[in-house]
Every structure is written in structure tokens, then in C-alpha cells.
Amino acid sequence: MLRRALLCLALAALTRAGAAAPEEEDHVLVLNKGNFEEALAAHKYLLVEFYAPWCGHCKQLAPIWDKLGETYKDHENIVIAKMDSTANEVEAVKVHSFPTLKFFPAGADRTVIDYNGERTLDGFKKFLESGGQDGAGDDDDLEDLEEAEEPDLEEEDDQRAVRDEL
């Protein structure tokens, strides 16, 4: 009985330890809240897509992200990763829209850089090879982008009403 209990405890511990280890899909590291900090500590430069499985923009980005993972699969320092933000929430990372792309460069303070450049393979490569400079945005750029993406529904309704009257 004691032997069975010890075996069960050992298996449970191994299962928990394995669950935290990051997996890979198409050369892209799959992160979750249990392995996020481990991935940050293990990799010098980490570019992460925070996505939602139902998001159309995320689905559109997926093949490009996979190609990016393929491009950097043998790179010594750069790792491409993704995290389903609908199932995982990391307190230190603020995600306001999908996909949110963040670069975690090496450094004592590990300052996070938001990516707001072109969502193309070349755009991502330029960003990574510039050390996170080319394509980086500040908070003002992000606010402008969010405002530009939100349609003004009231204005559209007003225009439609005027067309209907004519």
C-alpha cells in the first residue's frame, strides 16, 4: 500500500514537471502561464505572439509566424513563441487586443518592446535583426493604431441614413 502511494506521488510529480516544459509546434515555442517565466529565463531573445484561437487576425498571422519560427529554428539566441491569451494570463504582460506581439530582449531589467511594424516575414526579420528597433512602437503609436482599427459606427450610421434619404 505504501509502495503504491509513493509510486503515485512520484508519477504526479513527474507529470507536473513535464507539463511546465514548453512544447514546440512548427518550430514555435508554445507557452502557457506555467512555463512563461522559465522560457524567459532560458532564452536570450524571445518574440511572443499573444493570440486568441478565434481571432481572424491571429489566424491570418499563423502561417507567417510558423515561417518565422522555421527561419530562426537554429538561431543561437532568438526564439519565436506564442501563447493562447484566452487560456493563460500572465500578470506582468498586458494584452489589450489580438494578436499582441512582444519582444523580450536580454538584459538585467528585461524591458519589453511592443512590435507595431509590418506583419510580414520580412518585417519581423528586420525587427529581430535590429535588436527590436525597426518596427517597435511606443505607447502613443499603439493608442493611435487601436483608434484607427476601431470603426466609428455612429458616423457610418449617419452616412447610411443620408444615403437612404436620397
C-alpha 87/C-alpha 154 separation (Å) is 33
User: Mean pLDDT over residues 90-112, rounded?
Assistant: 90
C-alpha 61/C-alpha 120 separation (Å) is 8
What letter would DSSP give residue 144? H
CATH topology of domain 22-165: Glutaredoxin (3.40.30)
pTM above 0.75, yes or no: no
Question: Hey, where are the domains in the chain?
Answer: 22-165
Amino acid code (one letter) for 33: K
pLDDT in tens, 38-53: 999 999 999 999 999 9
Cβ atoms of residues 114 and 142 within 8 Å: yes
